[in-house]
Amino acid sequence: MKMYYDADVNTDVLEGKTIAVIGYGSQGRAQSRNMADSGANVIVGVRENGSSWNLVKEDGMTVKTIEDAAKEADIIHILLPDEIQEKVYKEQIAPYVESGNTISFSHGYNIHFGLIDPAEDVNIVMFAPKGPGSMVRRTYEEGFGIPGLVAVERDATGDAFQLALGMAKACGLTKAGVLETTFKEETETDLFGEQTVLCGGITELINAGFTTLVEAGYQPEIAYFETCHEVKLIVDLIYEKGFQGMWHDVSNTAEYGGLTRGNRIITQEAKDGMKQVLSEIQDGTFKKQWADENATNGANLKEMRAAQEQEDIEIVGARLRKACGLQKDD
């Protein structure tokens, strides 16, 4: 494992270069402001008069159309949703990319799966914060940062890795440390983590626990507290102290019960399912399914979202979060 910190970065690497951040969502807004506050020359490319156009101005950033930003930039940092990057790149960015430019990302999806393929004389790099945009910005303002990843897919100019490190430093990541990886490793592990643990796995586990208690006759509000609300408390302990630190901080009863029963829930069948999910990521099955989904304008995704909203745990949870002051009316 190789970690890089502030002292490992050539402080002059971004001097004289213009960085165009394409997109102004959670990550785009945080990363562009951090880099600008660090002294980098940053412009933001978004759809003219779109929803982000005025917000960029209000934040004191320089806003341009995507095409104009791409024309002006030495480094084009693409932070659009995965599903639209290919189209935007081909139509609004690629015509203006010049030899020696750098194309940068915070997720390797479109490069790893061959959806975006810049010319051979262009750098392809990535620096990826391991946290949401709100935390990227908040920790920077607090004088620190969050950990991240850095990778180079193509080094056409001989300094691509230092350019990636330079942006990571300007974003605040090298204060916490960045780990060197590859586009393949970042993409496949990121998708796997989202699907099996962080998003897909944990919501299914929580809902299964909630449903089990409710079907056994317990109050749904109590079931929600026990299987959903307290998840954050446990995850925070694991985040701060690891498994052993978490076990130390919970009761002996909880520790014994968890250590003797957990493997009856996450069985070999569950692990086999994880292996199958990973295989589908590696062989391109998921990429094709996601492309097919987007070809229908997300028809299945919209149906699944609507169904999720009607889940008992969502209805009970919304009521409880409001009653406890954890969720405000929009």
Q: Which residues are part of a known binding site for Mg(2+)?
A: 190, 194, 226, 230
Residue 3 tokens read as: 């970690």
Amino acid occupying residue 99: S
**Residues making up the binding site for substrate:** 251
Choose among 47, 172, 152, 51: nearest CA to 103. 152
Q: How far is CA 171 from its chain centroid?
A: 15
| CA–CA distance, 110 with 310 (Å, rounded to integer) | 33
Q: Which of 77, 107, 229, 248 is catalytic?
A: 107
- Report the chain's terminal Cα–Cα distance, integer Å: 44
Q: What is the dihedral of CA 297, 183, 143, 30, to 10 degrees?
A: -20
> Which residue, chain included where needed, has tokens 């990535």?
126
**Residues making up the binding site:** 24-27, 47, 52, 133, 190, 194, 226, 230, 251
For residue 107, indicate whether it is catalytic.
yes
CB 160 within 8 A of CB 125: yes
3-state secondary structure of 4: strand
**Residues making up the binding site for NADP(+):** 24-27, 47, 52, 133
| Residue numbers annotated as active site | 107
